[in-house]
Structure 1
Amino acid sequence: MSAIPIIGPLLAVVKEMGGKFLELKRVEADGRILVATAKAKAEATVLVTNAQSIADWERVQAENAASSWKDEFWTLLIALPIPFVFWPTTREWVIEGFQALHSVPEWYMWAIAASISASFGIRTGIFEKIGFTSTKKGT
């Protein structure tokens, strides 16, 4: 009978320790939720900032294109060989010109492609879509 008075306080201590353990686990879970929420908000802010930067860039490009002659220049230069290929006296000249482009340095072709795409407001990704990729490994 002497063990009975000890069981009550012992159960109270166990109950208190269990409560503190569960409270600690709840606080840890709340902390993980706060961290995940903060991370999601930060990622959303980055996405919004990136989208705003792209929109700003496109707006500036559109404003600049209003007074620019680059797109007309490249359109003319790209279209220029078309009528000449139909004239027998200039056909060989056009064909030889395109064949000569195969011997220019790769960096020059990339520079032309970048210049044309920038002139028309085309951003990255267009090179892969048109099949214009580097022939060198690692570039």
Structure 2
Amino acid sequence: MLRATEKITALYCRLSQEDSQEGDSNSIINQKNILMQYAREHRFLNPVFFIDDGYSGTSFERPGFQAMLDEVEAGNVSCVIVKDLSRFGRNFAMTGMCTTITFAKHNVRFIAINDNYDTINPNSTDSDFAQLKN
């Protein structure tokens, strides 16, 4: 396991074929820009992108997601940041299991920027509605 200052901040982007019809607002480039700006402004260390382009959020069998999860389980991640909860996943049960069980077990903070969701702050504005948004 790495020391806290050596751990990475996982910046996760996902775009499904259906989402691509919405245009640039959900594009991978747009998500990367938002995530990197947030990481810099909030001084998150060692940002690393994990990207799934063309994958549905209903399945968690996505290569970028699985690579990120491997790093989490190896103890190499301090925080996972996504643009919003829908980019992380659209399966309510699996999303909840990852954010409240797997990430908690490995002391990984989870942030969904646009949903104002942060596991370090249980009183974040939208924490009560996070499950509904998935």
**How would you bin the TM-score normalised by the shorter chain?**
under 0.3
More helix by share: 1
* Structure showing greater relative contact order (alpha-carbon pairs closer than 8 Å, 6 or more residues apart): 2
Q: What is the TM-score when the length of structure 1 is the normalising length? A: 0.24
Q: What is the TM-score when the length of structure 2 is the normalising length? A: 0.25
More strand by share: 2
Structure with max Cα Rg: 1
